[in-house]
Chains A and B, each alone.
Chain A
């Protein structure tokens, strides 16, 4: 049995095992309400999501018992998006996740399946999980993409020596298939497997430190096919022929079937450091730092050997600080994030580094939750700053942007008779562009420059205002579970867009509408 199948089986059954155990324990409606409250209280949800990021937090932040199954449908439409995005998306997701404790061992498991139909996407035969890649295929003509992605996540941990010391492991696995249904027909298979092992040590009742080691690997296999032979027999149809992008600039035609294929093997490794401080007066602080290096190798193997196309190294660093404080009849939380991602290629044509991608983001988010017997309030504000830069050396392209995002939201939940409830929430968002750099040689202007670089520059340097409204109705079901229907609608309106004195053939639209509806079962 190969490594891939073993991994799949191990991760596939972990969440199911948890649910089976939950049944044995006959979780009643009280437990269902606890789970529901956990997901609807913004502060506890914040800590839960934080805990899911590392097995280190299983013992401290992961609840002892929480379970959810959700069925969700997403719909997005509008041209106010990145060039390589999709102008219309229909997606359905089945998600199950839960945590439980078996004796001294705490477990978390999650499984999701997402089927996505993307209309009108261009220049991007990609998985959408490796968007900074220097090496990919694409064409200016719009294609329809269908994607099926399965994810599995499992974590287990236990404490030793009177909770002085804890050890935990975690794994996540993703397998996906992506294909377009019109020429050029991309067919992309992917899998990702990641492991984490963590150690925690309580220096005192108030201070805990920890370490984690991460290791993972993955693969993306890309193949472009055609129904109409005219599109690969010659390069006279640039809208449809297969462009190879290798950096951040104009690509070149890659027509022959033997050349319209590559494999991207990925390996990654990293470590985390943790510091937790629990104070009865100031609240609980959870500080983590994380550094991961990833190596990607783009190649094609035949009976004659390997043909190397590109290498790409990514360095990811993140620093997170979570603060949670329970007040008399409310709770408050804050999350500070700093994420930095730098990617550098090694171009096999020039035998040198030609492409650099750099993105960093710093974000601060504050939550306030006031829960009463009949009515509960959630409020939050967030501000984040993002800087992104893409450089292609030999094409002399250097584009960067910097913007601030302000987000604020409020919500109320009213509990009614027989454990039913209504919830309503609002959110507003404003993007403010700050600085940018635009160095693009007009002499090199062709399809990628016109359809992607100019479009994305205009999108990333535009300001926008967004508002969303969400409603939820919850009710008990089968006397053991709590159910809720949730609906959310978001409208984003572009405010100002820069003037770019170039040949603009594709520009962001004026708005975008996003919505989702979900059925959630908590138990």
Chain B
């Protein structure tokens, strides 16, 4: 009996064995090159030390690579899928001055990015990233509360606001600052209606009446809502480290109030919304609407914005995060209200009554924040190039969740908070669970 058992044991060891199994497809190695997009080539900025971040949008797994001195690297063994590829380097003010001969007050950040890049099996393309330095200025967009709060228990979109911040060490004046909610292609499904660029965004050069001698896509942005802060020039001083808050409706949204139609507007759960009664400015649309929104009441204590262009019945930001925001200061002798407006670049000729959008020169943009939907599958091609915003911000919880996007604190100097501004919102912004004007993160 025993010998039979040993015989069986021995036969088992040989009878069953592992096969050599191989699948048809394997992970992908991707070549990336980084280079500076310099208008002048009289000097060479360093490529060693350029960090390249490769983010798999399905798994959220981030891998970091460093470019060689020739600006090349290989991102190995990537699982096919959608990726964000971001490159950045910070050159110290001292190094920058010694290389270029131009003295600068702050460290200079160069960014480049490719968003939502599909990398499939057998991907052999080389991804070229052109590093650009954006406008890093004194004014920054600090917080955007576009998501709104709960549709049933909160204030829906009524409690939206945007906050601008003096990130410099000197007093600035808010007078005549403009800001815009900028447009682009917002639904991928409607892309066949429009003339598009290779990036998938609108090709504004093909708008009816667009001059041929301008770079309509790179030198301008387009606004569906365009506002200006009033003032005489030095009426609204903002000290270093202080903000201005612009509310859709500058009231305390936690407590009931009487709407323009005489009915009480209240929220079921005040903890989901905020008090905007101390905002610096508000938008008030009633004067130019035949049927104003009931919640758009005028707080007489808060100055109203000048409205050059509007969309809808109040300064209602897109709760899904499909539009973006820019802070603008027009040059001297410029009248922003008179800037030209163009139709969407539709394939069909637009009707005479079709919406037109302000064309805003990018050179007057002080700061811009690209906003995108929270889910990868809903994201749309970027509207801003790396010169305006190399990345984007979003509220992870999505719409009507009370969240806001808020710029990170970089450091505090003598009690003054300096906010992070690398011209890449992916890096510069994070979130507040409950939007809160004039707070820091």
**B13 contacts A by Cβ under 8 Å:** yes
Q: In the complex the two chains form, is A381's CB within 8 Å of B5's CB? A: yes
Q: Which of B8, B12, B61, B376 contacts A445 (CB 8 A)?
A: B61
Q: Which of B13, B26, B59, B396 contacts A236 (CB 8 A)?
A: B396
Q: In the complex the two chains form, is A443's CB within 8 Å of B63's CB? A: yes
Q: Which of B264-285 contact A (CB under 8 A)?
A: none
Known: A250-B58, A445-B61. A358 touches B21 (CB 8 A): yes
Encode contact with A along B102-121: 1 for CB under 8 Å, 0 otherwise: 00000000000000000011
Residue of A whose beta carbon sits closest to that of B23? A393
**A105 contacts B by Cβ under 8 Å:** no
In the complex, A445 Cα to B19 Cα: how many Å?
A: 26
Q: Which of B6-46 contact A (CB under 8 A)?
A: 8-9, 12-13, 15-19, 21-28
Known: A353-B23, A396-B26. A383 touches B12 (CB 8 A): yes
Contacts of B79 in A (CB 8 A): 249-250, 394-396, 444
**B290 contacts A by Cβ under 8 Å:** no
Contacts of A445 in B (CB 8 A): 61
Contacts of B375 in A (CB 8 A): 234-235, 253, 255
In the complex, A246 Cα to B190 Cα: how many Å?
A: 30
In the complex, A230 Cα to B395 Cα: how many Å?
A: 13
Contacts of B12 in A (CB 8 A): 362, 364, 383-385, 404
Q: In the complex the two chains form, is A387's CB within 8 Å of B17's CB? A: yes
Q: In the complex the two chains form, is B25's CB within 8 Å of A350's CB? A: yes
Q: Which of A234, A385, A393 contacts B26 (CB 8 A)?
A: A393
Contacts of A361 in B (CB 8 A): 16
Q: In the complex the two chains form, is A389's CB within 8 Å of B77's CB? A: no
**A486 contacts B by Cβ under 8 Å:** no
Q: In the complex the two chains form, is B26's CB within 8 Å of A250's CB? A: no
Q: Which of A213-262 contact B (CB under 8 A)?
A: 230, 233-236, 238, 249-253, 255-256
In the complex, A445 Cα to B26 Cα: how many Å?
A: 17
In the complex, A435 Cα to B398 Cα: how many Å?
A: 48
**A360 contacts B by Cβ under 8 Å:** yes
Encode contact with B along A345-380: 1 for CB under 8 Å, 0 otherwise: 001011011111010111010100000000000000
Task: Give the distance to chain A from B130, nearest Cβ to Cβ, in Å.
Answer: 26
Q: Which of A448-483 contact B (CB under 8 A)?
A: none
Question: Of B27, B59, B80, which is in contact with the most chain A CB atoms at under 10 Å from its CB?
Answer: B59
Contacts of B121 in A (CB 8 A): 350, 352, 394
Residue of A whose beta carbon sits closest to that of B27? A396
Known: A362-B15, A446-B60. A354 touches B77 (CB 8 A): no
Q: In the complex the two chains form, is A352's CB within 8 Å of B25's CB? A: yes
Contacts of A396 in B (CB 8 A): 26-27, 77, 79
Contacts of B28 in A (CB 8 A): 394
Q: Which of A376-426 contact B (CB under 8 A)?
A: 381, 383-387, 389, 391-396, 400, 402, 404
Contacts of A383 in B (CB 8 A): 5, 8-9, 12
**B81 contacts A by Cβ under 8 Å:** yes
In the complex, A443 Cα to B56 Cα: how many Å?
A: 10
**B299 contacts A by Cβ under 8 Å:** no
Contacts of A39 in B (CB 8 A): none
Contacts of B59 in A (CB 8 A): 250, 252, 444, 446
Q: Which of B16, B21, B401 contacts A356 (CB 8 A)?
A: B21
In the complex, A338 Cα to B16 Cα: how many Å?
A: 8
Task: Give the distance to chain B from A304, nearest Cβ to Cβ, in Å.
Answer: 13
Q: In the complex the two chains form, is B21's CB within 8 Å of A391's CB? A: yes
**A504 contacts B by Cβ under 8 Å:** no
Q: In the complex the two chains form, is B23's CB within 8 Å of A355's CB? A: yes
Task: Give the distance to chain A from B137, nearest Cβ to Cβ, in Å.
Answer: 32
Contacts of A441 in B (CB 8 A): 27, 77
Task: Give the distance to chain B from A510, nearest Cβ to Cβ, in Å.
Answer: 29
Q: Which of B19, B58, B63 contacts A252 (CB 8 A)?
A: B58
Residue of A whose beta carbon sits closest to that of B396? A236
Residue of B whose beta carbon sits closest to that of A250? B59
**B397 contacts A by Cβ under 8 Å:** yes
Task: Give the distance to chain B from A173, nearest Cβ to Cβ, in Å.
Answer: 32
In the complex, A402 Cα to B16 Cα: how many Å?
A: 10
Residue of B whose beta carbon sits closest to that of A364? B8
Task: Give the distance to chain B from A351, nearest Cβ to Cβ, in Å.
Answer: 8
Residue of B whose beta carbon sits closest to that of A345? B23
Q: In the complex the two chains form, is A360's CB within 8 Å of B16's CB? A: yes
Contacts of B401 in A (CB 8 A): 233-234
Question: Of B58, B79, B376, which is in contact with the most chain A CB atoms at under 10 Å from its CB?
Answer: B79
**B374 contacts A by Cβ under 8 Å:** yes
Q: Which of B336-376 contact A (CB under 8 A)?
A: 374-376
Task: Give the distance to chain B from A414, nearest Cβ to Cβ, in Å.
Answer: 26
Q: In the complex the two chains form, is B21's CB within 8 Å of A394's CB? A: no
Encode contact with A along B313-348: 1 for CB under 8 Å, 0 otherwise: 000000000000000000000000000000000000
Q: In the complex the two chains form, is A250's CB within 8 Å of B61's CB? A: yes
Residue of A whose beta carbon sits closest to that of B8? A364
Q: Which of B8, B9, B25, B377 contacts A394 (CB 8 A)?
A: B25
Contacts of B22 in A (CB 8 A): 356, 391, 393
Q: In the complex the two chains form, is A234's CB within 8 Å of B397's CB? A: yes
Known: A352-B121, A394-B79, A443-B77. A362 touches B16 (CB 8 A): yes
Contacts of B377 in A (CB 8 A): 255-256
Task: Give the distance to chain A from B74, nearest Cβ to Cβ, in Å.
Answer: 13
Residue of A whose beta carbon sits closest to that of B120? A350
Q: In the complex the two chains form, is A353's CB within 8 Å of B61's CB? A: no
In the complex, A250 Cα to B377 Cα: how many Å?
A: 17
Q: In the complex the two chains form, is A402's CB within 8 Å of B18's CB? A: yes
Q: In the complex the two chains form, is B18's CB within 8 Å of A350's CB? A: no
Q: In the complex the two chains form, is B23's CB within 8 Å of A387's CB? A: no
Q: In the complex the two chains form, is A385's CB within 8 Å of B24's CB? A: no
Known: A233-B398, A396-B77, A446-B59. A391 touches B23 (CB 8 A): yes
Known: A361-B16, A396-B77. A443 touches B61 (CB 8 A): yes
Task: Give the distance to chain A from B376, nearest Cβ to Cβ, in Å.
Answer: 8
Task: Give the distance to chain B from A258, nearest Cβ to Cβ, in Å.
Answer: 12
Q: In the complex the two chains form, is B374's CB within 8 Å of A253's CB? A: no
Contacts of A402 in B (CB 8 A): 18
Q: Which of B15, B77, B398 contacts A338 (CB 8 A)?
A: B15
In the complex, A381 Cα to B58 Cα: how many Å?
A: 49
Task: Give the distance to chain B from A375, nearest Cβ to Cβ, in Å.
Answer: 22
Contacts of B26 in A (CB 8 A): 393-394, 396
Q: In the complex the two chains form, is A385's CB within 8 Å of B25's CB? A: no
In the complex, A445 Cα to B81 Cα: how many Å?
A: 15
Contacts of A393 in B (CB 8 A): 22-27
Q: A350-B120, A389-B21 are in contact. List 16 more A-B contacts (CB 8 A).
A: A253-B58, A353-B25, A358-B18, A360-B16, A362-B12, A366-B4, A366-B5, A383-B5, A385-B12, A385-B15, A387-B18, A393-B26, A393-B27, A394-B26, A396-B27, A400-B18
* A–B Cβ pairs within 8 angstroms, 15 of them: A233-B399, A235-B375, A251-B58, A252-B81, A255-B377, A338-B16, A350-B80, A352-B25, A364-B8, A392-B23, A393-B22, A394-B121, A396-B79, A443-B61, A446-B61
Q: Which 8 A-B pairs have the closest CB atoms?
A: A393-B23, A252-B58, A352-B24, A236-B396, A362-B16, A353-B24, A234-B398, A364-B8
Which residues of B are interface residues toward A (Cβ below 8 A)?
A: 4-5, 8-9, 12-13, 15-19, 21-28, 58-61, 63, 77, 79-81, 120-121, 374-377, 396-399, 401
Which residues of A are interface residues toward B (Cβ below 8 A)?
A: 230, 233-236, 238, 249-253, 255-256, 336, 338, 342, 347, 349-350, 352-356, 358, 360-362, 364, 366, 381, 383-387, 389, 391-396, 400, 402, 404, 435, 441, 443-446
